[in-house]
Each structure stands twice: as structure tokens, then as C-alpha cells.
Structure 1
Amino acid sequence: MKFLARRPQKETSEKKKKSMLREWIEAVIFAVVTATLIRTFLFEAFMIPSPSMEKTLLINDYIFVSKLSYGPRIPNTPLALPFTQARMPLFPNMKPYSTAVLWPYKRLPGFGKVQRGDVVVFNLPVGDTVLTSKSGNDVDYYRELHPEKFPSPDIRPIDKRATWIKRCIGLPGDTLEINAGIVYINHLPLDPPEYSQRPYFLFDNECKGLPDSLVTKFEIDSNSFQMRGDSTKFRYYFTQVVARKLRQLGYHIEPVIHSADRDSRIFPRDFEHLYNEDFFGPIIIPKKGLTIALDTSNIILYARAIATYEHNTVDTSSNVIMINAAPASSYTFKMDYYWMMGDNRHFSEDSRFWGFLPEDHVMGKATMIWLSYDKSSIRWRRFFNLIK
């Protein structure tokens, strides 16, 4: 019996050689998919745009944010163009995402939970809003300041809201209070971060202030000035380390503390709570499963969380608090909440202005600076510094 060997066909008859264009398209698709998965589930790069975290983080510090630290968050808007946020580049009036499909909040397992002292990147609660109108509706913060530029609020899905960075000061279930600029957690004073700065008054009878040599040596913030009406009094921003060194050099400095007067910008923006940046609370930070007694004096502190973040109806128009059309004297929270503050605490719009941060707004933990520059040079010494 003879077996006839099958003659191999030419490879060109089975496979057609890919064109260069097709190879480029496949490479680009692979790169986009890979980068998107990395940004969603592993880490993402961000740039620091404001001085609210100085001197821990400086303007034009580029940082990596770990998504694995608290568990990657599944996107709310799966139908979105990669590498975009709320607006299309070059087309600001066009949204690069669709709300036809919205996924509920879900977080995959991570290395742990938010800890006190972590520097956290998050989506600003309730769209870009931090204020409410007289009727109780959410109002865009920048619209309140510049109504000519923002004729209507822009309420976005959570993962498309403005991205902010602050330090976690209070954890779920904590009692928080600020007294004369000192933060107390569960009635114990909290040490400020090592490189945080705050305003100080420097008193100099010679009316000269600090010499340029010390300003340069200690990298003192340029936002300083001589007080009007008192030529011997200067206002500077110092870290604790710099303040201690200046005192050792014989300079008379004192921290700037706001008086205990009400600031209408401060959460919850009512007339009963006489809060400001340096005097606030005490308040209890909501925790999942925690039941808090409600009355007419504290409902305003928690109404936003109950209604906006946990999707209930709240009616406080009468002396009886109504939640979902039923009288309520207490509420059990469904999520954990956090209290965020900037390290530059007199130059930071944080939880003191907009309240509690819900867990579903947390994106990840700031871990490392990978690039940094100022107006004139690259800050080489900040490269690959861990964020503490």
C-alpha cells in the first residue's frame, strides 16, 4: 500500500502578508487597550495644579497614583473614549463619554483601605459642586463665582468629575474637631504632616522682614507681604521645620489663627454652626453601618450624604425630619466617608468647604513623584521621591 504525501501548499496561499498600515493599526489598538487597563486597574499619572498641598507636593509635581492600594474602581461610564475625562481635547463642548450605560459603584479587592495620613486622589463630590442654591439644589461652585462663564450646572457621573488631591485626616466613625487651627481626632490632637505649611506673622522692629538669603535658603513661599497699618508685621508661609529654625535664629514669629467668627463659605453653610477654617466641629464622620441620631440641629450636616450620595429623599421643611416620606429620628449609613484636608491648610478648599468624601469617589493613593519642575528649572531632587 502506497501512501501519498500531501504536497505542502505555499505559505503565501494560506496567509497573506499584513500590510504596514494594518500592522500600525493593530499596534495602536494594543497599546491603547493596554494603557487603558493599566490606568484603570494599576496606576495613573497626575499633575499637581495648585499649592493646596505645599510643601508636601508642589505645583508641577507629576505623581503616580496607585489604584491597587484601595482596590481598582470599576468605571461608572464604560462607554468613553480612552485618556479623556469630562471634555474632549480641542472640542470643549463635546463630551467624550456616554451615559447610555452607567455601572453602579464597585471596587475590586486591593491592598487595604484608606488610612489616616494617606494622600488620596479622588473625584470632587457631586459633580464639580460644593455649594447649594437657596432652593437646596446643587450648584456648580465656579458658576456661583462666575455666572457669566457657567450659565448652568454640569453634574457628571462620578468617574468624570473633577480630580482633586488632599490628605485624609478623618476616618469613618471618627469624631473630628478643629480648634485654633489644631485638628483633634477622637479628642486627641493630630500632628500636622512634616512638610505642611501655614501662615505666620513675623514681627521685626526694623521693618525689613526676612533677608533674601533666608528666603532662598529655606525655600519660603513667595506669597508674603508686609501688613498694612503695621510696618513691623509681616505675613509668611512656613513649614514647622522652618518656623523652628527661624525661632532658633532669634526671629519673633506667631502662627496666624482666624478668629472664631462664622465663615459663610464653610460647610454646611448655615447660620447655626459658627464654623471657619480654624474653628470647626465637633462632628462625627459617617461610617457604613453607623446609626446617627438626627434632629433639626444636625440634619444639615448629614442631609447631603443621605440624599445625594445615598440616594434618598430628605425633607426638612417642617420640624419633623422626613426621609423617603417617613418620619426619621436617626439614619444608618450605607457607605464609609472620609474627611480630607490640604497640607497648606489656609490655602486649601477641602472638606471644610464641601463636607464628607464618600468612598465611591476615592480613586487611589498618591505614591511617588516621577517628574517636577518650576518656572525656570527642573527640580531634580524631587524625582522618584515617595509621597508621605
Structure 2
Amino acid sequence: MDFALIMFVALVVTGVIWLIDSLIFKPKRTKDAKMPVLAEYAQSFFPVILAVFMLRSFLVEPFKIPSGSMLSTLLVGDFILVNKYTYGIRIPVINTKILEVSQPKNGDVMVFRYPQDPSLDYIKRVVGVPGDTVRYYNKKLTINGKAISQESDGIFSYVDSNLNAVSANQYTEKLGEHTHKILILPDTPTVFVDQVNSQFPHRQNCDYNDEGFTCKVPQGYYFMMGDNRDSSNDSRYWGFVPDRNIVGRAFMIWFNFDNLKRIGHFIE
């Protein structure tokens, strides 16, 4: 179950119990009578739950990175903070935008609800905003006909989810206002065409072949890719992310049990 929904239910339950006790039962109690345990717990927890609910819903929300799809920008085990209001104020639980603040930009690292299963939160980099034509051929990214520069930056070694040692070519890429690292495995196909979902919304906007793909991003949608380009389950396989699925912009690593030096590192 969605954590925000759990928090909302807890908020309503404790609030109702406290309210009923205050309006109905408290006036009937004598001055020296003790408050019922249930009402006492509700009175104690309601303000705490309310504060946490408001903080997570409108300001910042913590997430933990579960996979290596955003290496080397984000490591497995990084605890990150996500700005919930950068892309607009949304009603909690139903995630409906009520106030426009700004729009996602190319290069932003964004948390969103996975289109094929909105109960799951994904994190990727925005590489295409509404109206963009995203072309990714032979490991080279082009947006609206402009090639995105890649400068070689050595080798990045890591252990994947199958405990295999991997050495990837690392590049520095500048996308929009963001300069960040990406990883490339030269012997891996640019896209596994047979793994592409043929039914995702606006599938007709994309053309695939063995060398790569071209996608025209429809209005109200975004195209997302992982920085670990050849080890990322992203928009090239399951399609565009609708605006209603946006959670927020990742901006800082606040903890990592295995690497304390990453604490306080801002995400580019």
C-alpha cells in the first residue's frame, strides 16, 4: 500500500478519535477522571502524524536507491531527498496538481510513479520534455537534432545485482543545465528491441531498430533514461511518463551507510 495513503488513514483515524473524545466524552468526565488510553494515544500521535504527513506531502520526501540504474550519479544504498514542490503543489494520495510552480527540464533527476505500476517509485534523468525529439543511436544521444556531448572520463567499476564485476566506460555529459556522469557498456546493444513494450501509450511516436530509437515526446509526458545507460529499465522500454505520475526532483544525498563521504552531496 502507498505510504502516503497509510499516513492519511492514520491521520484521519487519530483525528476522529481525538475529536469524538473532545466533543462527546470529555465534557462528561469528572475533573479527576483519566482520559481513555485510546483517546490519549490519538491525542499524542495526531500532531506528529500531521507534521510528518505535511512535510512528506508538500516539502521533501526521503527515498532509498534500490538499483544501479543511475550509476555513477547515485549508488545503491544512497538515501536521497526529493523536493515535492519544484514541479507544482499536488494533493496528497491522489497526486492531483493544484498549483503550477515549474516544469521538469532536460537533465533533471526526477522521481516518478512507474507508469505500468503506479505503486512503484522510479528515479531516472529527464532526457526529453514535451515536444522534444529524442534520438539515441549507437550510444549517442541527440535531442531536437542537437548531439549531446560526451567526454571520456575513464572506467567505472562496480558489482551488479547478480554479483558480477562490471567495468563500464564513463563519460561526462552535459544535458540542459546539468553536467553529470554516464556509463556505457560498448558491447551491449543500444536497446533490446524484443524487450520493448509494444502497447505503451503513444507507442506510435517511437521508431526502433537494432542501432537505437527515435521518440517524439507527446504533450504532458516526459522521456526518462538512467545514467547507467546500458543497465537501465527506462522509457525506451515502457514509454513516456505522464505529468500526473511526477513525485518530485531529487536534489541531495542525505545518507549512505557504506560511504559517509556521500552525505550532503547535491545531485547534478
Aligned to 1:353, the other structure's residue is in SS state helix
Q: Is it true that 1:264 corresponds to 2:148 in the alignment?
A: no
After superposition, the CA RMSD in angstroms is 3.3
- List alignment gaps of at least 5 residues for structure 1: 1-12, 78-104, 129-157, 198-217, 224-233, 242-253, 288-335
Which structure has the highest strand share of the two? 2
Instruction: Give 1:239 deviation, angstroms.
Output: 2.0
Say how many residue pairs are matched: 219
Instruction: Give 1:164 deviation, angstroms.
Output: 0.5
Query: Structure 1 pair 386/18, CA: closer, same or farther in 2 (3 Å)?
Result: farther
Q: State the alpha-carbon separation in 2 of the partners of residues 181 and 164 from structure 1.
A: 22
Same amino acid, percent of matched pairs: 31
Instruction: Give 1:16 deviation, angstroms.
Output: 5.4
Query: Structure 1 pair 183/29, CA: closer, same or farther in 2 (3 Å)?
Result: same
The equivalent residue for 2:264 is 384
- List alignment gaps of at least 5 residues for structure 2: 1-28, 173-183
Q: Is it true that 1:357 corresponds to 2:237 in the alignment?
A: no
Instruction: Give 1:23 deviation, angstroms.
Output: 4.4
The equivalent residue for 2:6 is none
> 2:112·2:123 contact (CA, 8 Å) conserved in 1?
yes
Q: State the alpha-carbon separation in 2 of the partners of residues 56 and 383 from structure 1.
A: 13
Q: Is it true that 1:106 corresponds to 2:96 in the alignment?
A: yes
Q: State the alpha-carbon separation in 1 of the partners of residues 144 and 209 from structure 2.
A: 18
Q: Is it true that 1:122 corresponds to 2:122 in the alignment?
A: no
> 1:180·1:258 contact (CA, 8 Å) conserved in 2?
no
> 2:157·2:166 contact (CA, 8 Å) conserved in 1?
no
Aligned to 1:51, the other structure's residue is in SS state coil
Identify the match of residue 144 of structure 2 among 163, 166, 186. 186
> 2:79·2:255 contact (CA, 8 Å) conserved in 1?
yes
Identify the match of residue 49 of structure 1 among 24, 48, 66. 66
Instruction: Give 1:190 deviation, angstroms.
Output: 1.9
Q: State the alpha-carbon separation in 1 of the partners of residues 34 and 198 from structure 2.
A: 63
Q: Is it true that 1:221 corresponds to 2:158 in the alignment?
A: yes
Q: State the alpha-carbon separation in 1 of the partners of residues 75 and 191 from structure 2.
A: 31
Aligned to 2:73, the other structure's residue is in SS state coil
Q: Deviations over 1:199-252 (max 9, x none)?
A: xxxxxxxxxxxxxxxxxxx762235xxxxxxxxxx97223226xxxxxxxxxxx
> 2:110·2:249 contact (CA, 8 Å) conserved in 1?
yes
Instruction: Give 1:47 deviation, angstroms.
Output: 0.5
Q: State the alpha-carbon separation in 2 of the partners of residues 260 and 359 from structure 1.
A: 26
Q: State the alpha-carbon separation in 2 of the partners of residues 118 and 33 from structure 1.
A: 30
Q: Is it true that 1:25 corresponds to 2:25 in the alignment?
A: no
Q: Is it true that 1:348 corresponds to 2:228 in the alignment?
A: no
Q: What is the TM-score with the length of structure 2 in the denominator? A: 0.71
Q: Is it true that 1:175 corresponds to 2:133 in the alignment?
A: yes
Query: Structure 1 pair 262/23, CA: closer, same or farther in 2 (3 Å)?
Result: closer
Query: Structure 1 pair 372/106, CA: closer, same or farther in 2 (3 Å)?
Result: same
**Larger of the two Rg values belongs to structure:** 1
Q: State the alpha-carbon separation in 1 of the partners of residues 151 and 267 from structure 2.
A: 11
Aligned to 2:69, the other structure's residue is in SS state helix
Letter in 1 for 2:102: G
Aligned to 2:53, the other structure's residue is in SS state helix
> 1:176·1:186 contact (CA, 8 Å) conserved in 2?
yes
Query: Structure 1 pair 240/368, CA: closer, same or farther in 2 (3 Å)?
Result: same
Aligned to 1:176, the other structure's residue is in SS state strand
Query: Structure 1 pair 284/235, CA: closer, same or farther in 2 (3 Å)?
Result: same
> 2:125·2:224 contact (CA, 8 Å) conserved in 1?
yes
Aligned to 2:54, the other structure's residue is in SS state helix
Letter in 1 for 2:216: I
Which structure has the highest helix share of the two? 2
The equivalent residue for 1:320 is none
Q: State the alpha-carbon separation in 1 of the partners of residues 226 and 100 from structure 2.
A: 25
Query: Structure 1 pair 50/344, CA: closer, same or farther in 2 (3 Å)?
Result: same
Q: State the alpha-carbon separation in 1 of the partners of residues 208 and 192 from structure 2.
A: 4
Instruction: Give 1:17 deviation, angstroms.
Output: 7.2
> 1:68·1:110 contact (CA, 8 Å) conserved in 2?
no
Q: Is it true that 1:337 corresponds to 2:259 in the alignment?
A: no
Instruction: Give 1:52 deviation, angstroms.
Output: 0.2
Q: Deviations over 1:59-94 (max 9, x none)?
A: 0101111111111322455xxxxxxxxxxxxxxxxx
Q: State the alpha-carbon separation in 2 of the partners of residues 118 and 24 from structure 1.
A: 42
Query: Structure 1 pair 110/171, CA: closer, same or farther in 2 (3 Å)?
Result: same
Query: Structure 1 pair 33/235, CA: closer, same or farther in 2 (3 Å)?
Result: closer
> 1:64·1:370 contact (CA, 8 Å) conserved in 2?
yes
Q: State the alpha-carbon separation in 2 of the partners of residues 186 and 73 from structure 1.
A: 30
Letter in 2 for 1:36: F
Query: Structure 1 pair 53/259, CA: closer, same or farther in 2 (3 Å)?
Result: closer
